[in-house]
Structure 1
Amino acid sequence: MTTLPQETDVLVIGAGPAGLGAATILAKSARVLVVDRESTAGGIPRHCGHYPFGLREFRRLMKGPDYARALVARAVEAGVQIATRVNVVGLEPGPRVTVTSDAGVTTIDAKIVLIATGVRESSRAQRLIGGEKPGGIIPTGALQSMVYLEGRRPFRRPVILGTELVSFSAIMTCRHAGIKPVAMIEQNAQPTARWPAALYPQIKGVPLYLSTTIRAIEGRERVERVVVDGPAGTRVIETDGVIVTGMFRPEATLFDGSHLEKDRATGGPVIDAFGRCSDPAYFAAGNLLRPVETAGWSWAEGFAVARSITAALAGSLPQDSQHSVTLKGDALSWVVPQRFGRVGETAHRRFQLRVNRPVKGRLSVRAAGVEYSSIRIDSRPERRITVPLPPHAAPVEIVLEET
């Protein structure tokens, strides 16, 4: 039976790279409890039986499961308590967190709570793909779990939907299991992932169809074919499965019905440059903040937010800021952090942004009406864009002028 403390200094929700990275640092000076709903700690990398992981954190190239185990081992060695199969069901001021486990329902009081629950891929329904509802339609995470953790082969000739980095990870997973994808489908005119990743389908003999959408998935008990619309018109691809990749959404359901503010644009929490949520006793880090970054990026973000939490525990973190960050330009999708009031060393030293369509132009940061910095961008959706934070507290505008 799971034994959970009734109180702790820091409660971390989520045992992925961001949560474990932060917990390891915090355990040097505080009591730290990490809870996760999965049966094993380590987050998404546990399912990724391929390279590359670990270069930033361990200075060596690792496969996902080895990387996840190393993160867990480092945290435990630092004194972090990790409890799995624990579901968080409520966030309250205090902070107080309600959880369920095999021991029943209980509450945990903490001085600080860090939420690092990560992301999930958009489902077929969320993508509005029509047709029948046969078996064999799964996201990349489920594919990786079946192949690497369960030793199963869910299909033999699937279609892969999407060209984000995780889409190429799906090809790697398929090859590991002896699965041969028959097509990769991308709605945009160019792959989302940067070169040279976009060459991977061609190298592995997977036909890539650009400017193409899936109109319908057909089949009775199992997928039998997909109907696609592309530059050459409508065509049918015979297949026995569909891997729905990318279009990540923050796993932020905990914020629904809570007192914490949620950002409509990202789907995750509203934070300031220190990583604080609208209730300054709650912090957030990792891919919960935005879809989606690498495991190494999330780990580094957890590491940085841990410094803010350490200062908060010592009573030396500056007061919360209410200055807003405004986006000007209809191609700009979202920004993190959404509030800004820079005083001292912040966890986030740069704004992170994305665009919703291919864009070329000039991106400028203006603080209190004065331009602080500008860069030229040539970007596509789901690609990382960062710009530096201004040096002084002020309302900020990030302006995109397209060319």
Structure 2
Amino acid sequence: MNLPLETDVLVIGAGPAGLAAATILARTARVLVVEREAVAGGIPRHCGHYPFGIREFHRLMKGPDYARALVKRAQEAGVQIANGVNVVRLEPGPRVTVTCDAGVSEIRARFVLLSTGVRESSRAQRLIGGEKPGGILPTGALQGLVYLEGKRPFRRPVILGTELVSFSAIMTCRHAGIEPVAMIEPNPQTTARWPAALFPRLNGIALHLSTSIRSIEGRERVERIVIDGPSGTRSIETDGVIISGKFRPEAALLDGSHLAKDAATGGPVIDSVGRCSDPAYFAAGNLLRPVETAGWSWAEGIAVAKSIRAALAGSLGQDTTHPVTLTGDALAWVMPQRVAEADERAHTCLQLRVNRPAKGRIVARAGGAEYASQKIDSRPERRITLPLPPRGAPVEIMLEEQ
């Protein structure tokens, strides 16, 4: 593989956000997309179910078809996509060190867009004890085995989590003839909005709320799990565990780099035009926060591409930014973390999440003056948005709980 050593814009990650941005930028600039997987398209490649593509292609599509359509559109726009390329270092310049079959090389660009997406939290990160048998998978690995390799890794698994991706896991199981026996949710309510809680019951799957997995047991394969719930401690016979959700940005590249990382989101610190702490680097998509839909990430890629296009033309505006801070222990994170003075904004709103069920009034103040508020009744992983202030100023967001 002969990678170009110079380009106008280097995009790292070929999911919906990266491909959308690259397609827009290729109209006026040289764009190279590097992707560590052998095939471009991101997470939707693994999701052999609906719904994808409504806002992007104005029709209902399955994930793999949607991913292929994004890749085709980018290539037709003139985007060069290099698969099987691992990025190992980000440096000022910007300069990016990559490895591939041809060896190690350094790519120089005028601007770099980071769009590396997310990954699900592992069993170890969730502190689930027990033995280490085969048959424990995150949703992404399950989807890859089922849709890409045509395999059925188990027959009667349990699913940990009730986020949207957890219900995607049910659809993947149904496609493969797998019959989950239970869904386990540590919180007293499902994370996904009603009527999602009806879906497992309609499929004959027991839903256990306020319940945690104490341990996973089995030697060669999973044989059972031990759960703690309202009825005490008991076991469920099963041959697999799907550990779904609790997404984390795929942000390992930030560790050891010169770019600032936000401890709350796990992704890069950005401003309202999408710039990282080094203004030659931008970021878009689920790298910014866990987690949004493919369509949301696609739209975000387009918006940040417009900022990069303005930066290429020298018209983006000042790098001056003001911080956004949170008050109250129920607010988990906010992004963008800084508000730019620039008139053009990739992000037209502040995105927030709570870290526990919370009800009350969110108030946003800019320069000490209230400019927005709204009532919420929310749970973790549900989208909350507030408008950006009309002008650049330090922003404080607080939750007045009921």
Pairwise TM-score range, normalised by the shorter structure = over 0.9
Q: What is the Cα deviation at residue 202 of structure 1?
A: 1.1
1:239-275 CA-to-partner distances (Å, cap 9, x unmatched) read 0000000000000000000000000000000000000
Q: What is the Cα deviation at residue 198 of structure 1?
A: 2.5
User: Are residue 218 (structure 1) and residue 217 (structure 2) matched?
Assistant: yes
Contact 1:366 1:372 survives alignment (8 Å): yes
Q: Which residue matches 2:107?
A: 108
1:269-298 CA-to-partner distances (Å, cap 9, x unmatched) read 000000000000000000000000000000
- The percentage of counterpart residues that share the same residue type is 78
Contact 2:192 2:382 survives alignment (8 Å): yes
Q: Which residue matches 1:317?
A: 316
Gaps of 5+ in 2: none
Output the aligned Cα RMSD: 0.6
Opposite residue 223 of structure 1, the aligned amino acid is: V
Q: What is the Cα deviation at residue 3 of structure 1?
A: 1.1
Opposite residue 226 of structure 1, the aligned amino acid is: I
Contact 1:262 1:269 survives alignment (8 Å): yes
Q: What is the Cα deviation at residue 196 of structure 1?
A: 2.1
1:347-376 CA-to-partner distances (Å, cap 9, x unmatched) read 001000000000000001100100001000
The separation in 2 between residues aligned to 1:138 and 1:283, in whole angstroms, is 32
User: Are residue 289 (structure 1) and residue 283 (structure 2) matched?
Assistant: no
Q: What is the Cα deviation at residue 122 of structure 1?
A: 0.1
Q: What is the Cα deviation at residue 160 of structure 1?
A: 0.2
Q: Which residue matches 2:122?
A: 123
The separation in 2 between residues aligned to 1:364 and 1:396, in whole angstroms, is 10
Q: Which residue matches 1:388?
A: 387
The separation in 2 between residues aligned to 1:133 and 1:12, in whole angstroms, is 38
Contact 1:342 1:391 survives alignment (8 Å): no
1:146-196 CA-to-partner distances (Å, cap 9, x unmatched) read 000000000000000000000000000000000000000000000000122
Q: Which residue matches 1:73?
A: 72
Q: Which residue matches 1:269?
A: 268
1:46-75 CA-to-partner distances (Å, cap 9, x unmatched) read 000000000010000000000000000000
Q: Which residue matches 1:307?
A: 306
Q: Is the partner of 1:197 in helix, strand or coil?
A: coil
The separation in 1 between residues aligned to 2:19 and 2:124, in whole angstroms, is 32
Contact 2:321 2:341 survives alignment (8 Å): no
Contact 2:273 2:342 survives alignment (8 Å): no
Contact 2:186 2:212 survives alignment (8 Å): yes
Q: Which residue matches 2:205?
A: 206
Gaps of 5+ in 1: none
Q: Is the partner of 1:168 in helix, strand or coil?
A: helix
Q: Which residue matches 1:26?
A: 25
The separation in 2 between residues aligned to 1:400 and 1:44, in whole angstroms, is 34
The separation in 1 between residues aligned to 2:387 and 2:342, in whole angstroms, is 15
Q: What is the Cα deviation at residue 6 of structure 1?
A: 0.7
The separation in 2 between residues aligned to 1:17 and 1:323, in whole angstroms, is 29
Contact 1:134 1:220 survives alignment (8 Å): yes
The separation in 1 between residues aligned to 2:342 and 2:360, in whole angstroms, is 31
Q: What is the Cα deviation at residue 20 of structure 1?
A: 0.1
Residues 148-227 of structure 1 aligned to structure 2 (within 5 Å): 148-227=147-226
Q: Which deviates more from structure 2 when the two are superposed, residues 339-348 or residues 11-20?
A: 339-348
Q: What is the Cα deviation at residue 322 of structure 1?
A: 3.4
The separation in 1 between residues aligned to 2:65 and 2:342, in whole angstroms, is 39
Q: Is the partner of 2:162 in helix, strand or coil?
A: coil
The separation in 2 between residues aligned to 1:392 and 1:135, in whole angstroms, is 55
With normalisation by structure 1, the TM-score equals 0.99
The separation in 2 between residues aligned to 1:165 and 1:197, in whole angstroms, is 8
Contact 2:321 2:392 survives alignment (8 Å): no
Q: Is the partner of 1:340 in helix, strand or coil?
A: strand
Q: Following TM superposition, where does structure 1 have runs of at least 4 consecutive aligned residues deviating by more than 4 angstroms? A: none
